Amino acid sequence: MQEKLREIQKNAKKQLENVKNQEELEKLRIELFSKKGALTAIMREMGAVAPEDRPKMGALANTVREELEGEFAQIKQKLNATAQEAKIIAEKIDVTMPGARRPLGKIHPLKQVERELCDIFLAMGFTVVSGPEVERDYYNFTALNIPENHPARDDHDTFYITDEILLRTQTSPVQIRVMEQKKLPIRIIAPGRVYRSDAVDATHSPIFHQIEGLVVDRGITMGNLKGCLEEFIRQLYGEDVKTRFRPHHFQFTEPSAEMDIACPKCEGKGCSVCKGEGWIEILGAGMVHRDVLLRCDINPDEYSGFAFGLGLERIAMRRFRINDLRLFHENDVRFLHQF
Ligand code: DAH
C-alpha cells in the first residue's frame, strides 16, 4: 500500500508538471480526488491493512493527499495568473491610434436662412419668440379678422384636428398670443413651421416655413414699417437692390401691402427668374387692424403697430439656386452638404 501511495504521488506530480491549463488541471483533480479517483480508491483498501499498521498508513495517505492538494492550489494560482496576463495582452488597446471618425452633419439650408434673417432683426432690436404649431381656430383665424365661413379661410386649405383645433396655416397667430400678454411695447419676430393641405410638387409643400414680425408701440406709422423692411432687404440683398410696396389686402392689417424686390437677374426688365414680371414678391405686411388690437385689449387710439410675414423657402431657394422644394425635405445628405 505504501508503494502504491508513493506511486500515485509520483505520477500525479509528473502529470501536474505538464498541466497547461485549467481544464487539464480539473481533469487531473477528478482523476485523483473524486469519488472514483485514485486516492479515494486506495483509502478503501485500508480495510485490508493489518490493524496495527493502519494508523501509520492513514497518516501517510493524509500526508500524500495534503501535499498533492497544496501543489494543486499552487498550480491553480499560477495558471490563473497566466490566464489573466494573456487576457490583458489580448485586450490591449493602442490609445494613440486614430479613432473612428463620425461623419459631421450640416445646418439645413432652411435653418441657415432662418438664422440669417433672425440675426438681421435681432440687430434691429427684435426678440425671437415662438408659438404652437397645433393651434386654436381662434388664434389662426377668428382673432385675425377671419370669422367662421369667411371665404378667406378657403385659401388656406387647413388641416383640422377637431372643429376647434388645427395645424396653423400661418405664423400670424403668434401676433395675437404676444399681444394678449400686453407687455408693450412689442417688437418680435416669430419663425416657424406652417401647414396647408397642398399637393406636393416642385413649388408646393404641405409644410413650409414663415417668419412673422410684429411691432406695437405709441406712434407707429407706415413710415416705420417701410423703413424697417427696406433696411431688412438692404441687409439681406445689398445696398443697391430696388424695392417697391404694392397695395394688397390682408384681413388683419389695414392698410396692407406686399413688398417686392426688383429681379436681381434682369433688374426689372422681365426674365425667366421673375417669370417676366421684373419684380419678385418677398413679403406681406401692413398696419395692425384696429379690431385686432381691440380684441387683444390694446387701445387702438393709444397704440398702433405694423406686422409682416414672409416665406422662408422662397428666399432659401433663390439664395442657394434650388429649383425644387421637395429637396428640402428628402434628407439626402449629398444635397444638404452642398450648402
Ligand atoms: N400670414 C400671411 C400669409 O400667410 C402673411 C402676412 C401678411 C403676415 C401680412 C403678416 C402681414 O403679418 O401683415 O399669407
pLDDT values of the chain reduced to their tens digit, one per residue, 339 residues? 888 888 888 888 888 888 888 888 888 888 888 888 888 888 788 778 888 888 888 888 888 888 888 888 888 888 888 888 888 999 998 889 998 999 888 899 999 999 999 999 999 999 999 999 999 999 999 999 999 988 888 878 999 999 999 999 999 999 999 999 989 999 999 999 999 999 999 989 999 999 999 999 999 999 999 999 999 999 999 998 999 999 999 999 999 999 999 987 888 888 888 889 999 999 999 999 999 999 999 999 999 999 999 999 999 998 898 999 999 999 898 999 999
Quote the CA–CA distance of 185 and 303 in Å, as a whole number.
9
> Which atom of ligand 1 is nearest the CA belonging to 144?
1
CA-nearest residue, atom 12 of ligand 1: 308
DSSP of 58-117: HHHHHHHHHHHHHHHHHHHHHHHHHHHHHHHHHT---TTS--PPPPP----HHHHHHHHH
For ligand 1, atom 5, which residue shows the shortest CA distance?
A: 309
CA–CA distances in Å: residue 187 to residues 127, 265, 305, 306 = 6, 33, 9, 10
CB of residue 140 inside a 6 A radius of ligand 1: no
Ligand 1 pocket test, candidate residues 250, 293, 312, most atoms within 8 A of CB: 250
Residue 297 burial (CB count, 10 A)? 9
The closest alpha carbon to 208, from 222, 194, 224, belongs to 194
pTM of the predicted protein model: 0.72
- C-alpha count within 13 angstroms, C-beta hemisphere, residue 235: 16
Measured CA to CA, the distance from residue 3 to residue 71 in angstroms comes to: 20
Q: How far apart are CA 23 and CA 60, in angstroms?
A: 29
Cell readout for 292 is 385686432
State the fold for domain 109-336: BirA Bifunctional Protein; domain 2 (3.30.930)
